[in-house]
Every structure is written in C-alpha cells, then in structure tokens.
Amino acid sequence: MCAPWRPAPAGSGMQRAALTGVYGPLRGGARRRPVVSWPLVCLFHTGLRAFAADKELLVKLRKKTGYSFVNCKTALEKFSGDSKQAEAWLHEQAQKEGWSKASKLQGRKTKEGLIGLLQEGNAAVMVEVNCETDFVARNVKFQQLVQQAASGTMFHHHGAKDQLTTYTKHFMKAAELSQLRTGPAGCLLSDQLALAIGKLGENMAIKRAAWVAVPATYYIGSYVHGALPADNPSLTNIVLGKYGALVICQASEQSQKSNLADLGRRLGQHVVGMAPLSVGSLEDEPGGDMETKMLAQPFLLDPSITLGQYVQPQGVSVLDFVRFECGEDTEIPEAE
C-alpha cells in the first residue's frame, strides 16, 4: 500500500512545486482542485523500488562475475534484468575478448609465474603456470588460475589413486593440460587461461603438471619455497611459490608416524635447495656440493652428514621425487 501524501511545510520549495505540478497554476489567488490523483504518488514509490531492485541486481552480478559495473549494466539492460542470461552473455563476451588478446600476445616470453602444490590424502599435484611479470603473478586472478590448473589435474586423475600397490607419478604437458576441466561441471583450462589473459593483459601459459599417488604404507613429503602468505580466502588447500618439491617415501613399522609430515617437509627442502638429479642409494659414497645423487648429497640442514645418513635412522626409504622451479628451461619427462 502506498503511503498517504502530506503537503510540505508552508513556503517550502517542495510546496511551491506541489502547488504548480499537482494542483495546477493558481489564478486570482483561488486554490484549484487537484488535477492528478493518488496513483501518481504510488508510481513514484514503485519507481523507487524498481530502481533499488535494479541496483541490487547490478551489485550482485558485479560481485559474482568480477566484470565492470558498465559491462554488468549493459548485460542486464540487454536481457531486461534476467541475471542468468546476463551472466552467460558476459562470460561469452569475456571469452571472445580473452581469446583475441591471447592470440595477439602469443609469443611473448613468460618466465615469471608460480608453482602450485595441492595435496589430498595419498595424492598430490604440482603445477607450473607462467606469466610475463612478477606483478601479475601476485594478482589474485592469476593465482586462481594456478588453483584451477591444480584442481583440474587432480580431478583428471581422481579414480587412478585407488587400490595402488606401489607409488605412481604422471607428468602432463601444456597441450594435454589445456583440455582438462576444473571439475565435474567445470570449464576447460584453455578457456580459463584465455579469460585470465583477457583480464590481466599479459601472455600466460599453463606449462606443466605432475601428479603423484601412493598406497597406504607410503607417504608424500612436500615443500614450496617462496610461499605467498595465505591471505586470499578464495584459494583453498593450495600452496603457491617459486619452487616446489614432492618426495615419495616408504615408512617402516619402526618409523614414527607423527614425525612423517615434518620429515617430509625437510626432505622437500633438501630437494629444492640441492636440486638432485636422481635418488641414488645408501651404498653411494658421500659426495660434495656438486653431487647429483640425492642420498649421497650433504644434507641441506646439516652438511656434516649425507641425506642418506639422515634418513636411515628414521626408518624411512626415499623412493623418488619431483622438483619444479618456476621459469626453468627443461624437458618434461615421459610419464612413468
């Protein structure tokens, strides 16, 4: 129900406007009868409600999609306030713009970026996503792209981690990654990449990924160096940085299960810092700083002993590892 109209205080500008617009002009000082009726006031209030509703839709669409107010307003006007159609149209236009920019920027060097590490139970994923500048690497939208790449890789291998009798690892290159989806009903990573390029205006590449899974008697140690502070609530269960390592270990019955996470982190730190090329064996002679066999290298956190001498009393066997360094030039190994 519309609120009853009451005249403004005498002499006010509003009253003069009301006398002219509602009652009509006064002639000879005589007050004329109203020339309009209550529905005009009702329409005024209805218009306010419609305006508020339109503004609320605009704010919601802007918050949900991240596109500019101007583009969101255009989309809502185009589809008469239908937010679902407006959102679909916005994504379509952004996709077109993103692919166009991606085509123009193709070929520009992408040496910066981030390593993303995602671990879920007995499986872990490590991805590298590149961009042109470190400034963009610190942008939330770029970091969300890294998470999407990690989630897509994990989802792709979801069923393969069950009923394992030994560890497994698989490497994926850019062409294969681009065809992955971010989830059961998710978008292609190639489309997400184009959207990020369109929004941030830099060339980018989802370069590579490694997926590792182990059975119950094994575990995966992990470490990310140069990790960014976790101040973005949209990034969940992923660690971002410039270097990353996954270390596959087998624990004996005598090993302290409560210490495995800390031990795995130290092994990951060693792999990142010492960059071994192979695991080697406990029988290898101790090497110096140029040694490339992991177990024969001086332990990063205590160079007076080798890594093999550090892990042997722990009741742990190091079986394999994966090391990523952002921007490095390297051939991705074949899947094992």
pLDDT tens over the chain, length 336 residues: 444 444 445 444 444 444 344 444 545 555 555 544 444 444 444 454 444 547 788 888 777 766 667 778 888 888 888 888 888 877 777 666 665 666 666 777 889 999 999 999 899 999 999 999 999 999 999 999 999 999 999 999 987 777 788 999 999 999 999 999 987 778 889 889 988 988 888 999 999 999 999 998 899 999 999 877 656 777 878 999 999 999 999 988 766 666 888 999 999 999 999 999 999 999 999 999 999 999 999 999 999 999 999 999 988 999 999 999 999 987 655 444
DSSP letter for each residue of 276-335: -SB---TTSPP--TT--BGGGSEETTEEEEEHHHHHGGGTEEEEEEEEEETT---PPPPP
pTM of the complete model: 0.71
Type of residue numbered 150: A
Q: Which domains does the chain have, with CATH numbers?
A: 38-104 (1.10.8.10), 112-325 (3.30.479.20)
Type of residue numbered 298: P
